[in-house]
């Protein structure tokens, strides 16, 4: 199977004189490194000095998940489990619970997720959960998953996933028009 046009067929042919002398090839190689050196000295190397400058990420970057609240601040998730089914890495688990009368301003639907966990080590950040969600509850954001020192800490519960009521996370910047209109 041919994946690219850059592959070269290896042959065992007799070397030409220029190849046997080996020096032309050396000078060619040294020319290439010199070209890089001159380019990097004149224009500066194409790098981001990381701790000082963050490498800009794409607008549609898929980072850590968020469980959205609606305009009134109620959790959107209804614990239907479609995200868990859609997840190719099987990173999502949840336990459903029924909403009581005095919880009406906390949860939008009658059924809600009492436990909602994503294992960030399993997650491959494909965004399938986002696509599967019928309630527009789970989204991937542009934030990075933090570094942890043990595996258990990578299982994120609702405390880390649900957005804070006064620190809403705007995910519209990374959405297309079609996705924006699809919010229910």
Cα-Cα-Cα-Cα torsion 133, 135, 141, 145, nearest 10 degrees, comes to -70
Annotated binding site for [4Fe-4S] cluster: 77, 80, 83, 87, 123, 126, 129, 133
List binders of other proteins among 111-170 (CB under 8 A): none
Closer residue to other proteins in complex, CB, 3/53: 53
Closer residue to other proteins in complex, CB, 47/165: 47
Residues 110 and 107: their CA atoms lie apart, in Å, by: 7
Residues 66 and 139: their CA atoms lie apart, in Å, by: 5
Closer residue to other proteins in complex, CB, 24/29: 29
Among 10, 41, 53, 165, binds other proteins (CB under 8 A): 41
Judged on CB neighbours under 10 Å (0-12, 13-18, 19+), 92 is buried
Across the chain, where does the E strand assignment appear? 65-67, 92-98, 111-119, 138-140, 155-156
Q: How many residues bind other proteins (CB under 8 A)?
A: 14
Nearest-approach distance from CB 27 to other proteins, in angstroms:
10
Closer residue to other proteins in complex, CB, 44/152: 44
Cβ(90)–Cβ(122) under 8 Å?
yes
Phi and psi, residue 112, nearest 5°: -140, 170
Structure tokens at 140: 């991937």
CA angle 129, 135, 140 (to 5 degrees): 35
Nearest-approach distance from CB 31 to other proteins, in angstroms:
9
List binders of other proteins among 13-32 (CB under 8 A): 26, 29-30, 32
Q: Which span (36-44, 72-80, 105-113, 118-126) binds other proteins, by CB under 8 A?
A: 36-44
Structure tokens at 80: 């239907």
Residue 53 is a binding residue for other proteins (CB under 8 A): no
Residue 34 is a binding residue for other proteins (CB under 8 A): yes
Interacting residues with other proteins (CB under 8 A)? 26, 29-30, 32-34, 36-37, 40-41, 45-47, 49
């Amino acid at each position: 199977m041919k994946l690219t046009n850059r592959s070269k067929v290896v042959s065992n042919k007799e070397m030409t004189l220029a190849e046997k002398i080996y020096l032309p090839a050396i000078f060619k190689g040294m020319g290439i490194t010199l070209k890089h050196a001159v380019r990097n000295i004149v224009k500066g190397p194409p790098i981001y000095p990381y701790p000082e400058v963050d490498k800009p990420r794409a607008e549609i970057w898929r980072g850590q998940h968020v469980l959205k609240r609606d305009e009134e601040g109620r959790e959107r998730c209804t614990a239907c489990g479609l995200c868990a089914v859609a997840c190719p890495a099987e990173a999502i688990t949840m336990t459903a619970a029924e909403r009581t009368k005095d919880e009406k301003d906390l949860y939008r639907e009658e059924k809600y997720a009492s436990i909602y966990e994503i294992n960030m080590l399993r997650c491959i950040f494909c965004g399938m959960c986002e696509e599967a969600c019928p309630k527009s509850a789970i989204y991937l954001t542009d934030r990075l998953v933090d570094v942890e020192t043990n595996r258990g800490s990578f299982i994120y519960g609702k405390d880390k996933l649900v957005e804070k009521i006064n620190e809403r996370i705007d995910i519209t910047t990374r959405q297309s028009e079609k996705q924006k209109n699809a919010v229910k």
